[in-house]
Structure 1
Amino acid sequence: MNYKKEDFGEDFIWGISASAVQTEGAHDHLGKGLSIWDEFVTKKNKILNKDNHYVAADFYNQYKTDIDLIKQMGIPNFRFSLSWSRILPNGIGEVNPAGLDFYHKVIDYCLENDIQPFITLYHWDLPLALEKKGGWVNREVLTWFEEYVKVCVTAFKDKVTHWMVLNEPMVFTGAGYFLGVHAPGKKGLKNFIPAMHHAVLCQAIGYNAIKLIDAKAQVGTTFSCSYVTPHSSSIRDKKAAFRVDALINRLFIEPSLGLGYPEDALPFLKKVKKYIMPNDDSLMKVTFDFIGIQNYTREVVAYSIFTPFINAKIIPADTRKVFYTAMDWEVYPEAIFEMITKYDAYEGVKKIMITENGASFPDEVLDGVVADDKRINYLKSYLKQVLKAKSGSAKLSGYFVWSLTDNFEWGEGFKQRFGLIHIDYETKKRTVKNSGWWYKDFLGDK
């Protein structure tokens, strides 16, 4: 490795990320309401090995241990999410004091240890009571979400300086409201199109609500993204890649920048007109203080007549004879450079943070050690590309590894391990992986 932390600049923000559903456990503890994931994990054949998040990594009970480990690893910033249904059990209305108290304790313990909390307001855990009213498909979600944001920001504004409104809206609307492979398990354009539009509006509604309460807060949102390349030089494959890029990389950022939906590539998006109300075009526009981009890999795309709406298919990494992670995601470090460059080109983007980047490998503890050299090499190679991008972009301001601990990886259950900290799910014992100690050494460079 021929670079060091100082090469990124003294103001560059370094951190680690996690989410509530994936780590907390205590899914119905002390007044917490049910979320869509509490119901989804009970459905047949939805979660690998019938795993569930009811205990997960037990962060709820072991948050001090985990924050102590963040401190030991020398990581100065911790991005985590709040559970909407832990704070508002029914999604709206009565606040659960025990829920707010828990997050006060987490935030306070971070600050006591000189760790800055970066709060994600929505990381896919809609209260089940709201889903029964239509969830993200129901336009009333705009009001529900605004109320939730106001409760959170009012409670924590004196302690939290950085907020992220939504986590990866393309994933939670696409997987949850089109493909049905994530909670709440809905399918089809009739669900996806309104859920998409309402999520776009909530990005701006959340930003505005936070700024009204705390004008000095730094407010952003996060986008999943993958570098998309065509499988061949054929015109059909190139056009397929253009469509997939619009779907997974442009769909949520462009309307927020006042550019509208990318109907040029995806004509089916014209169906959104049915759900656009007067003033929506201006309402969805927002100038975030920063955006978070979350990149892991690239996608190689070919034309397919069998895939409706986009006529494209992704060619899996394991069929392309390339090096890939346990998620069958190609290790392609140049992808993160390409995505930083892509988002940097948008005039309305002020700052960019990498809010997630990491890799899953089948780790195991041997004699008290997790020798995850593949993850270390992954992080080194991607950070080299981050530095390359930063040298050409004044907008790039931070990098967060995904994730703090091994956790509940949605439909993959506990099979996938992304953490810098290994979790023994039987005993909940924590073991810092060699990648965690590598990150400590890297961050300690002078």
Structure 2
Amino acid sequence: MTLPDGFLWGVSTSAFQVEGAFTAAGRRPSVWDAFPALGGRDASVACDHYHRYREDVALLRSLGVGAYRFSISWPRVLAGDLGFYDRLVDELLAAGIAPVVTLYHWDTPVEVEEAGGWLERDTARRFADYATTVADRLVDRVAMWIPVNEPAIVTLLGHAIGQHAPGRSLLFDALPAAHHLNLGHGLAVGALRAAGARAVGTANNHTPVWADGDPAAADAYADLHNWLFADPLLAGRYPDRLAERMPVRDGDLAVTSAPLDFYGVNYYNPTRVRAPSPGNPLPFELVDIPEYPRTGFGWPVVPAGLTEMISVLRNRFVDLPPIYVTESGCSYEHSPEDTERIGYLAAHADAALEAGARGYFVWSLMDNFEWDSGYSQRFGLVHVDYETLERTPRASFGWYRDRVRR
């Protein structure tokens, strides 16, 4: 395929999953630090990226990517520790790698959660203040900014069904969290632009929704997973069936729909749904997709789903900003050949190019702490030995390096 001018190859990580160093420089605790569902596992060391960032940037330089997407730890910034990110950004720039900063990748500070967390409107304002603090320090050196990563996952897994921290099981009563995340995004966009940010976008988790005999169930799921978060950002509205449930005040949707310089799509797999069985409080039920191969996580491998999702977005939003695939990756057991990971990434990179994306970011640079799955799932181009913390590039690292060079 012909590569568009300026196409951006990158990799992504998040602070909580790789940094470790829970007690460094007075870092405050996050809701994930001791989340009960982790069963005693923790990310207090993780990959120790906080102390080994120079080694990791050297890996990025060897990989040849143009950008590194990482997140800032809100609990770390509350303690006044922005020095680590100063050093990381400078190291990246010295290596010729553009820093792409995500402000929030799920690690809500405990003190913010205790004040109501994302169910409380004031958290959106606190988030904007945090955005200002970070931007005042880094805005002159950061290429692209993403205020909130995957608000759908924070809302649905963290507040609706309790699988993720903070572990609330509120079902539809979780919807205020969605609005406050969207509002926080919009307020942060304004704060970043006021500070002089060059490019501001988002990174939403999207899934094509396939109906198993009931289009209404598919529409209901798509509204919750996709359009509850894309519509207020790109069209200044909420889906009709959910609008009355949202705690919107005058002027909110003008804030959430502030113009964006790019739109990030995080894609892993499609979702199939059918009508709910008796007793199900939701208007849909998830259905297996057995006709495709699966990753180690059990997710179906459907590269065409990425092309489909971007096409759906383009059909829904007339003035869609340039699209970047800000996460795309897979978990497999470690093997010397790494054949499955290479096949997955090759097919999904091609799908991104076919769909006209402007960039492709692999999840992830290295194996890391995979939230409620702990260390059991390995997404990395780089293998991490969690006993020694030794980094070993996989065969997929070499494949991606060669793809970028070509």
- Matched letter for residue 379 of structure 1: L
Say if 1:230 and 1:240, in contact at 8 Å, map to a contact too: yes
Query: What's the counterpart of residue 349 of structure 2?
Result: 383
> Per-residue deviation at 1:188?
0.7
Aligned to 1:342: 312
TM-score (norm 2): 0.96
| Corresponding residue number in structure 1 for 2:327 | 356
The alignment status of 1:220 with 2:201, answered yes or no, reads yes
SS of equivalent to 2:166: coil
| Match of residue 367 from structure 1 | none
Aligned length: 405
Q: Which of 123, 138, 156 is 1:141 aligned to?
A: 123
- 1:13-412 matches, within 5 Å, as 13-40=8-35, 43=36, 46-47=37-38, 50-89=40-79, 96=80, 99-189=81-171, 191-214=173-196, 217-231=198-212, 234=213, 237-263=214-240, 267=241, 269-272=243-246, 275-306=247-278, 308=280, 310-317=282-289, 320-345=290-315, 346-364=317-335, 370-390=336-356, 396-412=357-373
Cα-to-partner distance string for 1:122-170 (whole Å, 9 max, x where unaligned): 0001110110111111111122111100000000011112100100000
Displacement, 1:191? 4.7
In 2, distance between residues paired with 1:204 and 1:112?
Answer: 32
Q: CA deviation at 1:244?
A: 1.1
Separation in structure 1 between the aligned mates of residue 236 and residue 126 of structure 2, nearest angstrom: 26
Give the distance between the partners of 2:231 and 2:280, measured in 1 at CA.
23
| CA positional deviation for 1:51 | 2.0
Shift of residue 190 of structure 1?
Answer: 6.6
Percent sequence identity is 35
Deviations 1:247-276 (A, max 9, x none): 11111110122341112xxx355222xx22
Q: Which aligned runs of 4 or more in structure 1 are off by greater than 4 angstroms? A: 306-309
- Matched to 2:313, the amino acid is Y
TM value normalised by structure 1: 0.88
**Cα deviation 1:369-416 (Å, max 9, x = unaligned):** x321001001111122222212xxxxx311100001000110111111
Q: Is the 8 A contact 1:268 1:309 kept in 2?
A: no
For 1:203 and 1:112, locate their aligned partners in 2 and report how far apart those are by CA, in whole Å: 30
Question: What amino acid sits opposite 2:391 in the alignment?
Answer: R
- Could you tell me whether the CA contact under 8 Å between 2:295 and 2:330 is conserved in 1? yes
Deviations 1:54-74 (Å, cap 9, x if unpaired)?
111111111111110111111
Question: Residues 28 and 348 (structure 1 numbering): CA distance in 2 closer, same or farther, change over 3 Å?
Answer: farther
CA distance in structure 2 between the partners assigned to 1:280 and 1:64 by the alignment? 42
* Equivalent residue, structure 2, for 1:93: none
- CA distances 1:182-230 after superposition (whole Å, capped 9, x unpaired): 111112147512111111111111111100110x510001100111112
Q: Which amino acid aligns with 1:24?
A: E
Match of 1:393 in 2: none
Cα distance, 1:285 vs structure 2: 2.0
Cα distance in 2 between the residues matched to 1:361 and 1:203: 33
Judging changes above 3 Å, is the alpha-carbon distance between structure 1 residues 117 and 185 closer, same or farther for their aligned structure 2 residues? same
Give unmatched runs, 5+ long, in structure 1: 90-95, 365-369, 391-395
CA contact (8 A) 1:307 1:313 kept: no
**Is the contact between residue 83 and residue 125 of structure 1 (CA under 8 Å) also seen in structure 2?**
yes
Q: Answer whether contact 1:316 1:328 (CA < 8 A) is retained.
A: no
Task: Describe the SS at the equivalent of 1:271.
Answer: coil
Cα distance in 2, alignment partners of residues 284 and 382 from structure 1: 30
Contact 2:147/2:188, CA 8 A, preserved across alignment: yes
Cα distance in 2 for partners of 1:306, 1:371 equals: 47
SS of alignment partner, residue 396 of structure 2: helix
Could you say what secondary structure the match of 2:207 adopts?
strand
Q: Say whether the 8 Å CA contact 1:223–1:294 is kept in structure 2.
A: yes
CA–CA distance in structure 2, aligned partners of residues 417 and 54 of structure 1: 18
Report the aligned-residue RMSD. 1.5
Could you tell me whether the CA contact under 8 Å between 1:287 and 1:349 is conserved in 2?
no
- Give 5+ residue unaligned stretches, structure 2: none
Q: Identify which range, 308-317 or 199-208, moves more after superposition.
A: 308-317
